Structure 1
């Protein structure tokens, strides 16, 4: 049986999944399909929102905590620099997708897909690096009381935001991601949050990928 994934890895899987889905949707966009362009824009903005929360929480909470414990500051600086590159890539992709909404041509959609593909390289490169070199460090601290307090501060600020994040992580997830979520968060809690509270995600974003 596969090892359970950490919450960090489940988030990363959702990021990889939605970046790939966005690129594919743009490449398949029919000329003049403004409605589909707006749908893809909505899903992309949700991804950017979730990913931005994730990497900003790491920059402001996780990396300073690890630095305070004496971990390699050079590695942590690499993480921060990669976050900057990722933010720039997201911004460029967002602008390209907005251009498709403004003028929904197949040519603009392919150009936006190419921009998302470039962002995918930056994003996946960072996620792979973090999982290879930082994931183990965070895992070793899992039972540390001070780390638990720090990690709690990285969670979404509101119940609605938490439910949106859970719904997003589950949407299109494989069984390994789903079983890891169930192991981390009790099944009834996941069900209530995602089906009752996460109305915005299920109304606005989930239908884009159906």
Structure 2
């Protein structure tokens, strides 16, 4: 739910630079990549065998994915939506998107519970249940993200100042689990997008990615296979 306390912004005016929404677009792309590949993984596990070690790796990844989705929509509600409302006023209606966010929380709670059941007793039944929960989340996220990008991105670019957008992104990054988010975003970035990310982050970001990416890639192999 959008918070009601006032937010001080300087709305963008004609001629001002346009905010770059690449970071949010990449976050969505990374989310949808996992939303699509995790149900397929669970279906394969239901049709085969899965030892306790892999079941633990899969369940932990699913839990981190659920937490990532929760983080994303929570910071939109608490950080981005108030800035949009203050910047765009009557030009934006966030009611349906906020309602979608509210419906996500119980779905994510069910997914975590199902992942824990699969970890405790890996087998066809628990893997199938996990596949069902993941498929439902995939369908929900695909529709929601499509609606959000179509309705919110133009509002950001038209009404939010570069300074206010930078402040939003900084607050989002501060609350993110970078060891999970950064490698996933990098994996879905084009060469041009990756170059822009590294140019903006400089040496510190390149060092951080060099530390975070290799262990995450090993984690992916443990979850999804070689």
User: TM-score, normalised on structure 2?
Assistant: 0.77
2:127 corresponds to 1:135: no
Contact between 1:43 and 1:208, CA under 8 Å: does it hold in 2? yes
- Quick one: structure 1 residues 5 and 181, their matched pair in 2 at CA, closer, same or farther if it must change by over 3 Å? farther
Structure 2: distance between partners of 1:122 and 1:71 = 27
- Quick one: structure 1 residues 37 and 71, their matched pair in 2 at CA, closer, same or farther if it must change by over 3 Å? farther
Max Rg structure? 2
Question: 1:69-111 CA distances to partner (integer Å, 9 max, x unpaired)?
Answer: 2434873121111111122222222211211111111122112
Structure 2: distance between partners of 1:125 and 1:200 = 32
Question: What is the Cα-based RMSD across aligned positions, in Å?
Answer: 2.7
Structure 1: distance between partners of 2:62 and 2:56 = 10
Q: Which residue of 1 aligns with 2:192?
A: 179
Q: Which residue of 1 aligns with 2:111?
A: 93
Could you list the runs of 5+ residues in structure 2 that have no partner in the other structure? 1-19
2:55 corresponds to 1:24: no
2:22 corresponds to 1:6: yes
Structure 1: distance between partners of 2:42 and 2:219 = 18
User: TM-score, normalised on structure 1?
Assistant: 0.82
- Quick one: structure 1 residues 147 and 8, their matched pair in 2 at CA, closer, same or farther if it must change by over 3 Å? closer
Structure 2: distance between partners of 1:9 and 1:17 = 12
Structure 2: distance between partners of 1:5 and 1:63 = 15
How many residue pairs were aligned? 202
Contact between 1:182 and 1:190, CA under 8 Å: does it hold in 2? no
Structure 2: distance between partners of 1:51 and 1:82 = 12
Q: Which residue of 2 aligns with 1:36?
A: 54
Could you list the runs of 5+ residues in structure 1 that have no partner in the other structure? none
Q: Secondary structure at the match of 1:71?
A: helix
Higher mean C-alpha deviation, range 27-36 or range 96-105: 27-36
Contact between 1:164 and 1:200, CA under 8 Å: does it hold in 2? no
